[in-house]
Chains A and B, each alone.
Chain A
């Protein structure tokens, strides 16, 4: 609501689009919470910036007309649940936790190596087949393929029933013509009342309709090395360490201390990116389709440049070999911004000297909330318009994203943090992570998740975020000036989306 007020105060021009904001609901409380923990300065400057003339609201595209189905699904299609995805995550969740999945008939088992195996064809208990259309994400192939397939959906007799999306481009599909609102499937407000608000904001369309659901919530924390904390800060207690990281000023001071003792505060350039990009005061693209760079992102640029010059980071990029190595025994990096899955799956793997042996840095990491709330990752399930298996789609969504018992089981079995507030709160009462030296990190997730603000998400985020990080890496490396990096950023975005306007 704070967002809504701000925009309305700023301008009249966006009156017709402002109604779109209804989705942000809970975010006012979260805003004040975050400000308390340090970013009041950021909020103030951006507010000033907006008053100072930059008064065009965010780009919020109208919901596209849906397309009338011209062909009916064939008999085969009516007996096949066709799901488009790019990886194995949801497959695994469905196979393990969807009660109507026919594990026996599908030949599903966990083999001696701990890997999942299925037979030739997979089935639901009602006898329908499941067909996965998997397209690797490389070079945007997944979205390109999905776009083509969805475009052909209306006239096709082989209907897609569900497809999966990610937050960075969710709004492209949510406001696009090819998705069926979940309420049309028969999922009620009551079904989804326990989900985290931000997970709904991500997939709420311009009309305020929810277009997808997710089984997970992915709040982020700061994971740090207890041994380094003890050496440099004199304590490894998460509450005490948090004080040294509570806002960016403290964070920077701590970084300087790390440097003195021969450690890096962060591993690479992009490590802190999400904590900034999730806390912007305006979206990437405004109502005039102009690309604008939020002040908070320039803060990330300045901070990262400073860190690079002073040697507070190790000059890596996300997912590269050194970045991973920095998380292991040989690493000299204090900590990493990681969300739920990152801590439970990725960091564990890097921390151990030998996979699955619980050695190396296993038990040496702790987590605390860090300077700002953010989230990282997440996969949403959408129903494809024209699905000829509505009942099954609804059932899968209800079980996988709304059912408390299922979600609780997912978290207990896989450690993946799930999208059910009461269930997670219940779990947080008494939880110990062996990997985190017995710390109850679920409790921190429970505290962090409601603070996430997704109201500034837009359909162009993927292109903008990727281009911004790429363009400014050259600046951090000293290859280009700040202005050149900015110019490169605009060029990259324009190449990806030629309808956008960039300063020339």
Chain B
């Protein structure tokens, strides 16, 4: 490998070229122009009269920090994300291990397909359906009223935590099947001989799960964590629809991208740019954090593997 690496290096560049060309044209140029915009006063008055671009330095940033509850929106994003993610990872891991358990011999085909199904409904439609479901005269309320005997319905969308709960429930339903499939693929990729030898050594199912399955699917687990963080940071359409734009209940379910959307809506390029840069930085920091985490784990794992093989 090492001696041949020189002659193969060019293939590394050839194979990665399309990715990076596409990235530079379609992502980087817009991204840089967005960042550039963040230092200018630049907006449309009533959709017609352009104000700016005038260089204003960091004014957009100071307005951003002074004007609105940025921290609140980041916190909302985190809360909504965790409310969906924790049950998601728990049930996905559970179902994936059931599905791949050779002794249980579950007929899993139909379940796998069904669990993933909610993901194919667009978020807007999911929002609509759940709105109907939890509305004052909706089915959930008729059940609630017949069980508790309450005279007036429970107003799910007039309370902060029920609203957040419904948003998270939708996110959970849309994504747990997805995660289950992914984890299943990972578990199926594990060499069965490992389990056989564990069995011979007298390990019980719980031990094999924690000692073999989890470490070996760690890369995919990290991937799930990262994509879910991305999804969380980008969370937009479900809360947007459920809260009808996010202003409801003192903006308690407004995520950071929904807030960005407010500035896109008003075509305030300067403010939108500043918020985008901020979001970019946060995303970068998160990515790096996970990258570090992942590198540590793969490094140790590689060492172990090498030691084990020859």
Residues of chain A touching chain B, judged by Cβ–Cβ distance below 8 Å, are 61, 64, 139-140, 143-144, 146-147, 150-151, 172, 176-178, 315-316, 320-322, 325, 330, 459-460, 467, 470-471, 473-474, 477, 479-480, 484, 488, 491-492, 494-499
- Given known A-B contacts A496-B266, A499-B51, A477 and B44 have beta carbons under 8 A apart: no
* In the complex, chain B residues whose CB is within 8 Å of the CB of A322: 135-137
Contact with A along B129-163 (1 / 0, CB 8 A): 00110011110000000000000000100101000
State A471–B250 Cα separation when bound (angstroms).
Answer: 8
State A151–B135 Cα separation when bound (angstroms).
Answer: 42
By the criterion CB–CB under 8 Å, are B155 and A473 in contact? no
State A296–B137 Cα separation when bound (angstroms).
Answer: 33
For the A-B complex with A144-B267, A495-B68 known, give 14 more contacts whose Cβ atoms are closer than 8 Å.
A144-B265, A147-B44, A176-B48, A315-B136, A321-B136, A321-B137, A321-B138, A330-B137, A470-B247, A474-B250, A479-B160, A497-B45, A498-B271, A499-B43
State A150–B44 Cα separation when bound (angstroms).
Answer: 14
By the criterion CB–CB under 8 Å, are A177 and B265 in contact? no
Q: Jot down 25 A-B pairs with beta carbons below 8 A, ordered by A.
A: A61-B46, A64-B48, A139-B261, A146-B47, A147-B44, A150-B48, A151-B48, A320-B131, A321-B137, A321-B138, A325-B137, A459-B46, A460-B46, A473-B248, A474-B249, A477-B158, A479-B249, A492-B247, A494-B67, A495-B68, A496-B265, A496-B266, A498-B266, A498-B271, A499-B51
B265: contacting residue among A140, A151, A467, A470, CB under 8 A: A140
State A291–B68 Cα separation when bound (angstroms).
Answer: 18
A172: contacting residue among B47, B136, B262, CB under 8 A: B47
* In the complex, chain A residues whose CB is within 8 Å of the CB of B271: 498
* Residue ID in chain A nearest B134 by CB atoms: A321
By the criterion CB–CB under 8 Å, are A172 and B250 in contact? no
State A139–B237 Cα separation when bound (angstroms).
Answer: 11
Interface presence of B165 (CB below 8 A): no
Of residues 180 through 196 on chain B, the ones whose CB sits less than 8 Å from some CB of chain A are: none
A477: contacting residue among B47, B131, B249, B262, CB under 8 A: B249
Of residues 8 through 65 on chain B, the ones whose CB sits less than 8 Å from some CB of chain A are: 43-49, 51
By the criterion CB–CB under 8 Å, are B43 and A498 in contact? yes
By the criterion CB–CB under 8 Å, are B48 and A498 in contact? no
State A330–B141 Cα separation when bound (angstroms).
Answer: 15
Instruction: Give, as a whole number of angstroms, the nearest-CB distance from B48 to chain A.
Output: 4
* In the complex, chain B residues whose CB is within 8 Å of the CB of A459: 46
State A61–B265 Cα separation when bound (angstroms).
Answer: 22
A147: contacting residue among B47, B136, B155, B245, CB under 8 A: B47
Instruction: Give, as a whole number of angstroms, the nearest-CB distance from A5 to chain B.
Output: 29
* In the complex, chain A residues whose CB is within 8 Å of the CB of B51: 499
* In the complex, chain A residues whose CB is within 8 Å of the CB of B250: 474, 479-480, 484, 488
By the criterion CB–CB under 8 Å, are B247 and A321 in contact? no
A471: contacting residue among B44, B247, B266, CB under 8 A: B247
Instruction: Give, as a whole number of angstroms, the nearest-CB distance from B290 to chain A.
Output: 32
State A178–B49 Cα separation when bound (angstroms).
Answer: 11
Of residues 226 through 263 on chain B, the ones whose CB sits less than 8 Å from some CB of chain A are: 245, 247-251, 261-263
By the criterion CB–CB under 8 Å, are B68 and A315 in contact? no
By the criterion CB–CB under 8 Å, are B248 and A321 in contact? no
Interface presence of B268 (CB below 8 A): yes
By the criterion CB–CB under 8 Å, are B67 and A176 in contact? no
* Residue ID in chain B nearest A148 by CB atoms: B47
* Residue ID in chain B nearest A497 by CB atoms: B266
Pairs of residues from A and B, 7 with the lowest C-beta to C-beta distance, nearest first: A322-B136, A147-B47, A321-B135, A470-B247, A176-B48, A172-B46, A496-B266
* In the complex, chain B residues whose CB is within 8 Å of the CB of A495: 68, 262-263, 266, 268
* In the complex, chain B residues whose CB is within 8 Å of the CB of A144: 47, 265, 267
Instruction: Give, as a whole number of angstroms, the nearest-CB distance from A222 to chain B.
Output: 23
